Amino acid sequence: MQRGKTIAAATIAVSCAFVVLLAVGCSPQRGSSTTSTSTSTATASTGTGLNTYAASSPYAADEPSAPTDASGAGTDSQSTTYSSEKYIEDNTPKVTTLTDGTQIQLVPNDIGVSAYRGLDFMPSYNLHYLHADKRGCNSCHADLAQTVSNMTDYDHEDLTRCAPTQLTVQQCVDCHTWQLAYISEQNAFGDMIHQIHYTNHGDAFTSESGNCWSCHYVMSNGPTSFTQQSSAPGTTYAVEDSANTGVTASSSEWQLWDVVKHSVMRGITDIPDQTAVNGSFTWNQDKSAWNQPWDYNWRGPGYYWDHDRYHYQEEGVPLDQKVFDNWTITVSGCVGKEVTFTLPELLAKAPSVDTTKGLMCTMNPTGGPFFGNFQIKAIPLSWLVEQAGGYTDQAASLQVMAADGSHEDLTRDVFTQNMNEIYIVYQISGEPLRWESGYPVWCWCPFMSAGNSWKSVSDFVFSDTASAWLPNQNGWHKQGPEWTMDGNERSNSDGFFNKPNVGYLNVKEGTVIKTGQPYTINGFAHAFDLTVAAVEFSLDGGKTWTRYDTPGVDHTRIVNWSFTFTPPADSSYVVRVRSVTTDGLVTETPQELMLVAHSS
C-alpha cells in the first residue's frame, strides 16, 4: 500500500464544518421498473413510462421515439447510440491547452462506461458522481510546485529550480512525514495542510466550494456523518457511526484523492501485455538537460553556514576572484605529512578531471526534482592524499570540513572504497560555482546521497576517532524501532522511503496524446550507493510488470530512461513505473502517470 494514502478520520475531520451523509450506490437507475412486472401484456405506456425524460429535461428533445405497439416491450429505448450535443457537452471532461500547446485532460472520458448499468448515456460517473474534475490539488493549482514555492506566508524551498518533474501530493507527504535530521515536526502533514486551507486561507478555499471531498476519498465502510462540536478556530468534529458499521474515528480511514484516483475513476484501459502496445525501452547516463544543481538554502537555526551564500546569491553579489585565488585546501590528521595548496597551485600542479557525475538529495521524494547528472571539472582528492603520503592505519574517519568548521564525516570503509570518486569541484557545466553551490569549491561524493557532499570545503582531516553519529547517508531511512540517533544511519533494517528512486520528466498528469501513434515518456532512476538493475512498467494497475534491464549501470550517475508505447484506442492509460537494484530492492511507491489518447 502506498504511503500517505490514508489519514485517520479523527485528524481529517477537523476540516468538516457540515453534516454529510454518504449514500454510495443508492442513485436511482433510469430504465428499471418494478410496477410493470405485474402485467402480462406490455403496452406503449407501461413499456416506456419509466424510460422517459421529464419534459423539463435538456435532453427531452433528443429522446428516442416511444414504440407504437407492444413489439418492443421489455427492451430499453436508451440502448441506441445517443447523439445529443447537450449530453456530450455535460458529460465530456474539460481539456485545457497550456501555453506550450500541450493539452491536459485530468478526468478520463467515461461516456458509455456506466458504474451501475450498461446504458449508453448514463451520466458520467467521473463527473457527476465522483465530481473528479473538482477534486485533487490540480483542480485548483495548475502547477503545485509553483504554488508551494510562491507561498507568501511561508518561505518554502523552491521546488522549480532543478529537474522538470511534476510535484504530487504524495511527494509532499513523503517530505513531511519523518526525518529527524531535516524536519522539526514529524508526521505533521495532515494537520499542516488543513490549517493552510481552512485557517490561513479559509475564505479562498471555501469560496471555490472547497470541502473535505476536495482532497479526500472515503471508502464505503467509513463513517457516514460528522457533527460540529464548536465553531471556534481549530474546532474538532465527532464522527458518528450512524450506519452501525462498527467503524469509528479511531479505526476508519480516509484516503487522499490524488493517491487513489486512478483506482476509482472509470474509463481507464488496462493493458497487461505491453507487446500489444509496442512497448520499448532505452536508457543512458548522459548529462542532464538542466545545467545547475538545486540548493536547499536552509534558513533556520543550525544551518547558518548556508546563510551568507544564500544572501549573496539572492542579492546578485558578483563572484569574488580574490576568494578563489586565496582559498586553500589542507589535508591533515592521520597522514604521512600535512599539506596545503592554494586553488591556483592545485590547478597548476594537480590533474584535473572533466567528467559527468550525478547527485541526488538524501530526502528527494520518489519522483522528486532534486537530482541530476552534471558536467564537472574537479581535482581528485586521491591526488592530494598521495601528496600527504597517504592515510595511516589509525585513520578511522574522514572529516570533510568547510571553512566555517562544519563538516561531514565518512567512515573508513566508505572513504577507502571510494577514494577515487571524491572530487574537489571548481566548475559545473563549464562555469565557476555559484555562491549557493559553495563557491569557490564543493566536495562531491557521487557514490552517496548529496547530503555527504560538502560545500566551501577547505580541509580534509583523517581522524583517529569515529563519531557515534556518522550519517554516511545513502537514501531516506524509514522510522523504526531499530533506528536510533546514537546508531549508524546506514543500517537499512527498516528500509527506505526513496531507494531506489524513479520518476517522470517533462510530462504532466492527463497529457493528451494521439491514438495509434507511438508516445515516448522520459524519466530517471537512481539508487544512491546501490546499482539500478532494471526499470519496470505496468499498464494494468500494477497487476503485471514488464522488466527492462539496465546492464552496466554506473551507480555514481543517474539513469535516464525512455519508454515508448502506442495507445490502441481512444481511452485513458495509467503508466506505473518502479526501479529495481542489483540487490533486489524495489521502489516502495511506484510512480503513476495518466495519459489520455484522442484520435483527433
Based on the fold, state whether residues 239 and 282 are members of the same structural domain.
Answer: no
Mean pLDDT of the chain: 79
Are both 387 and 523 inside the same structural domain? no
With 80 as the cut, is the pLDDT of residue 295 above it?
A: no
Q: Flag whether 426 is in a domain.
A: yes
The alpha helices in 376-508, defined as continuous H runs, are: 381-387, 412-418
Task: Find the DSSP H helices in 196-243.
Answer: 202-207
Q: Are residues 382 and 349 in the same domain?
A: yes
Q: What is the mean pLDDT of residues 419-433?
A: 97
Same domain, 409 and 355: yes
Q: State the CB neighbour count (10 A cutoff) for residue 496.
A: 20
Verify that 16 and 161 share a domain, yes or no: yes
Last residue within a domain, chosen from 408, 441, 463: 463
Q: Are residues 311 and 254 in the same domain?
A: no
Q: Is the pLDDT of residue 221 over 90?
A: no
Query: H/E element holding 343?
Result: helix 343-349
Q: What pTM was computed for the model?
A: 0.81
443 and 505 fall within a common domain: no
Q: Which domain holds residue 222?
A: 6-24+134-264
CATH at 405: 3.90.420.10
Let me know whether 346 and 222 are in one domain. no
pLDDT reading at 192 higher than 80: yes
Predicted pLDDT of residue 181? 60
Number of domains in the chain: 3
Q: Is the pLDDT of residue 424 over 80?
A: yes
| Averaged pLDDT, 33-43 | 32
Q: Is the residue at 487 inside a domain?
A: no
562 and 522 Cβ atoms separated by less than 8 Å: yes
Going by their DSSP bridges, the two strands 397-402 and 407-411 should be labelled as: antiparallel
Q: Is there a domain that residue 475 lies in?
A: no
Handedness of CA 460, 462, 463, 466 (dihedral sign): positive
Residues 232 and 278 in one domain: no
Residue 569 included in any domain: yes
HSE, side-chain direction, 13 A CA sphere, residue 438: 24
Task: Give me the pLDDT at residue 113, please.
Answer: 64
- Model confidence at 49: pLDDT above 70: no
Of 16 and 330, the structure prediction assigns the larger pLDDT to 330
Assigned domain for 351 exists? yes
Beta bridge partners of 571: 597
pLDDT digits (tens, 9 = 90+) for 567-591: 999 999 999 999 999 999 999 999 9
pLDDT band at 297 (very low <50, low <70, confident <90, very high): low
**Residue 392 pLDDT level (bands cut at 50, 70, 90):** very high
- Over 50: is that where the pLDDT of 294 sits? yes
Decide if 165 is inside a domain. Answer: yes
Answer yes or no: do 159 and 252 share one domain: yes
Residue 413 has pLDDT above 70, yes or no: yes
Residue 80 has pLDDT above 70, yes or no: no
Are 281 and 185 part of one and the same domain? no
Is residue 122 over pLDDT 80?
no
Task: Find the mean pLDDT for residues 109-127.
Answer: 71
9-33 pLDDT, tens digit per residue, is: 333 333 333 333 333 333 333 333 3
pLDDT per position as a tens digit, 526-572:
999 999 999 999 999 999 999 999 999 999 999 999 999 999 999 99
Q: How far apart are CA 153 and CA 18, in angstroms?
A: 28
Query: Residue 516 pLDDT > 90, yes or no?
Result: yes
Together in a domain, 19 and 152? yes
> Which of 173-177, 377-381, 447-451 is least confident?
173-177
CA distance 424 to 327: 13
CATH of the domain at 575: 2.60.40.650
Residue 75 included in any domain: no
E strands, 286-370, where? Answer: 328-333, 339-342, 353-360
Return the percentage of the chain with pLDDT > 90, whole number.
52
**Residue 470 pLDDT level (bands cut at 50, 70, 90):** low
In a domain, 82, yes or no: no
